[in-house]
Amino acid sequence: MARPMARIVVVVVTYNSATLLPDFFDSLDEGLRGVTAEVVVADNASSDSSVDVTRGCRPDAIVVPMGRNAGYAAGINAAVAAAGDFDAVLILNPDVRLGAGCAAELFGAMARPRTGITVPRLLDAKGDLIWSMRREPTIRRAFADALVGAERAGRWAPLGEVNTDDRTYLVDTVTDWAEGSTQLVSAECWHSCGPWDESFFLYSEETEFDLRARDHGFLTRFVASASAVHLEGGSAGSPALWALLTVNRIRLFRRRNGRVRTAFFWFASVLRELSRSVLGSRTSRAALRAILDPRTASVRPGPDFVKARSR
């Protein structure tokens, strides 16, 4: 008897994503070749035609209207809750284009012991490698990033959080966590760990989930034979989004390490953004203002946080 194909629920969170969706859906069938897929789209109250485009391009998709801009994690959780039975959840950004058979490659790698999350080799729109593998944030790594830069520090495992050694992206390996645009989560891992943390509106939610999965005994595995293109958003060029990313990194570190160690991590973050601010970086100036604001530590930054810093 032939082995039944894996049942994958494809989860997509949209927010004013109408221009990205036609190409996304056009590439989906090739990427899902070899698996049985159900597509669920959670829409965060888009003001464009994201919902209509989804229904036009993919009539069989389940559309979950969130009714507000609830964030990435909330959209993921709502989409999974609306899905049927599954063997794994494939979380995708609308600006991801799966390579042929990507989902089947990722699912096949889940047969390896303790694997709960699999991620592909990502390329950007120009075909260049994206450094998508990450190491757990530590005080030492935060200071290395501040003093010598993420790219340089990332070539040495003890120092860098972002893995910038191109050679490691040629073979399958285990990583502490990976960027959240393209992740396949096994049903066992999902049900053991629970949903994604909705207190992170955007950024650090994938870090929190992948590290929580590791706490539960599951590995995040990089699969070199699986590939996808990530057109990528603009956090590095957006002062508001970079501020949100920086604040949420500190929030997550505090949760996992306590106040005393976080004080050192916070100082390293200040040092990094201050040094870049001196060199004229608008994004670092915005991040520095946010992390020096005493009110930031007592809030869960959401869309209002971004809106206030986008003016």
| Paired residues of 121 in beta bridges | 227
Q: For residue 125, give Cα distances in angstroms to 96, 181, 220, 232.
A: 10, 14, 25, 8
Q: Which pLDDT band holds residue 80 (cuts at 50, 70, 90)?
A: very high
Taking the C-alpha atoms of residue 310 and residue 308, their distance in angstroms, rounded to an integer, is: 6
**Which pLDDT value is given to residue 311?**
60
Instruction: Give Dmax (Cα) for the chain.
Output: 66
- Does residue 284 carry a pLDDT above 80? yes
Q: Which helix (H) or strand (E) holds 102?
A: helix 102-108
Identify which of 5, 181, 29, 18 has the alpha carbon closest to the alpha carbon of residue 99.
29
- Does residue 116 carry a pLDDT above 80? yes
Find the mean pLDDT for residues 255-271. Answer: 97
pTM: 0.94
Taking the C-alpha atoms of residue 125 and residue 130, their distance in angstroms, rounded to an integer, is: 10
Find the mean pLDDT for residues 112-118. Answer: 98
**Which pLDDT value is given to residue 294?**
83
**Which pLDDT value is given to residue 222?**
98
Taking the C-alpha atoms of residue 47 and residue 176, their distance in angstroms, rounded to an integer, is: 36
- Summarize pLDDT for 16-45 with one digit per residue, the tens: 999 999 999 999 999 999 999 999 999 999
CA 171 to chain CA mean position, Å: 21
Name the percent of the chain lying above pLDDT 90.
88
Find the mean pLDDT for residues 108-131. Answer: 97
